[in-house]
Structure 1
Amino acid sequence: MYVATNSQGMTARWISRGATLSELHVPDREGELADVVLGFDDVAGYESGRNQHFGCTTGRFANRIKQGRFTLDGIDYQLAVNNGPNHLHGGKLRSMDKVVWEAEQLTDALGVRFRYISPDGEENFPGTLTTTVTYTLTDDNALRIDYEATTDKPTIINLTNHSYFNLAGHGNPNILDHELRIDADRITAVDDESIPTGEFLDVAGTPFDFRTQHRIGDRIEEIGGYDHNCVTNGQWGSLREIAEVVEPQSGRIMRVSTDQPGVQFYTANGLGGQLGKGGAAYTKQGSFCLETQNFPDAPNQPSFPSAELRPSETYRHTCIYAFDVV
């Protein structure tokens, strides 16, 4: 475990399994701290079936790939099928959330840097992929995540952080009263298996319209829960604020910035009351994820931003979760 505390008392903790954010203690409007991310008290919890990617670095390819298949430079690849008939979050046994990363505490800032070398063929992905994930805690209560990766042969990549948030505290039973704004005019339309069709859906007049801040719970019953990729406005590659969440009772605000083209908004529809830190029950719609990333199934969708990484290139991705109060 690695720990950092800033001048305002905000504290982050990480573990090397999965380069995982395990705790994030954030002040409310009265200055009282609460841990706002889901997780476990010990390694056994993270290694158990109760863990649904809590706080981890997700890859090599976060989100879904249709039937686990893609073609790169004329070569067909078959990945693990672990989400119905499709591939999800990098595989079954050696995805990035399940391996132990090298780690070092930062000496020139508050935080930690993780490094992992994924060998050619691991989880059937091509190329030896060398990845670093650097978490930095700033004195203005922001948590910055910087990803870099290089490969020795052409491959695909899509990394994200899979933290589940509840700004009232990780044991709070739901997030329906959290107020959300997402700067996205469209989502990627999906089929019944949550695989993109290649089309884009305008959010106007739908339950996916969070362009104006409102309660997450206002229209959630119409769709049963959110697990959708929002096509964020602004230029891919340019760091910009794409979302804001407010928890009215505590006054905590979380603002999300990224240079990625999409953010997966997920309302923890798959949680079933498993016990986490301090014996807290983690329930359906008791937390949310805002996972900045490329679009799901991008390797199979020519109209989506490319997910290819070549030996001459460096993959870079920045995500910032900045906290404030109202």
Structure 2
Amino acid sequence: MTDTSFETQVQQGDAGFGDFFALLKPRVMSLVVFTAFVGLLAAPQPVHPFIGFVAILFIALGGGASGALNMWWDADIDRIMKRTRGRPIPAGRVTEGEALGFGAFLSVLSVVMLWLATNWVAAAILAFTIFFYVAIYTMWLKRSTPQNIVIGGAAGAFPPMIGWAVATGGISTESILMFTLIFMWTPPHFWALALFMKSDYHEAKVPMLTVTHGRKATRAHILIYTLLLAPIALGLSVTSIGGPVYLAVAVVLNLLFLKGAVDIWRRDEAQAEADGYRTEKKVFGLSLMYLFGHFGAILVESTLRVYGLGGW
């Protein structure tokens, strides 16, 4: 997901709590926690509040461990890109060895403790999520193909499946659809960012779509993926975790997101540069509201269902 500002806010100096916390990519972690929490509460089996709290804690630590290992591996390009130069490693506040040890320790701790607290299925999905984000996305896809964010987006899509597995001990159509919603949302979300951050990726030699195929092709890809995303988002409304509240929210957000994608597709570079990529930045902000809105609506439906009011 997106983590563009927090790390630059930590004060310069020797490594402290704030530096190691920044390694966890807290903005990304917040999305991991939220979607995992929704997946847990939307599941048909109730979970004891203490078990649920412990599960979300270790899911968050697992997501943070992935972020620390990502920063360890990407320290070289983080020193080049403007938006990442202030992170703890390129800023010299944390060494690469410290980040590696910190991330590895939290990875093992989070998986083992989630297994002990809940079940092996949830722990296995968390372990695979960490592996996928670090080894498949960070070490391989990110620097080798413009499809990096398309395939790599799966790493950020697993948390609701983990939350669901905590409660049920398994996987279902609903959890797969929540995964697919995030998976299909990730490319247009990141490509909207890449449109106005192209120079960063170009200087770091990261083969983002804007670098390899240009902004015009990227604009078309945003529209295509947004069109493919809409039926998935709306389809969730007819499952056991959907309902009228979710459907109403999904209709509004998908219409807004589609309009934004069309607006981006219609623009040329002269227009974008003239207004400082205002539309692209607006759609990027909308993409954040889009995901939180959908999962927020699922949360509302699950809460209403407790009182016999949610669902169809």
Q: TM-score range by the shorter chain?
A: 0.3 to 0.5
Task: Return the TM-score normalized by structure 1.
Answer: 0.34
Task: Name which one, 1 or 2, has greater alpha-carbon Rg.
Answer: 2
Structure with greater strand share of residues: 1
Structure with greater helix share of residues: 2
